[in-house]
């Protein structure tokens, strides 16, 4: 997903962010390699408004 350009941030609604965070949060619960887990966490940060403590 990566960081969004300022001009595109308005098109990503809160519901879309919540859905993406839910999907990535679910994936982080699976038995994945640490590299994939770190990528998931970085994408959660890119979505914004995510508290990392909830996922550890």
6-31: pLDDT as tens digits: 555 556 677 877 887 788 778 778 88
DSSP 56: -
Contact 44, 55 (CB under 8 A): yes
- pLDDT score of 19: 83
The 10 Å Cβ neighbour count of residue 33 is 8
Decide if pLDDT at 50 tops 50. no
DSSP 4: P
């Amino acid at each position: 997903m990566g960081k969004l350009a300022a001009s595109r941030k308005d098109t990503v609604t809160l519901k879309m962010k919540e859905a993406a965070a839910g999907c990535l949060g679910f994936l982080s619960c699976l038995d994945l390699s640490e590299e994939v887990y770190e990528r998931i966490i970085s994408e959660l940060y890119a979505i914004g408004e995510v508290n990392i403590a909830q996922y550890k």
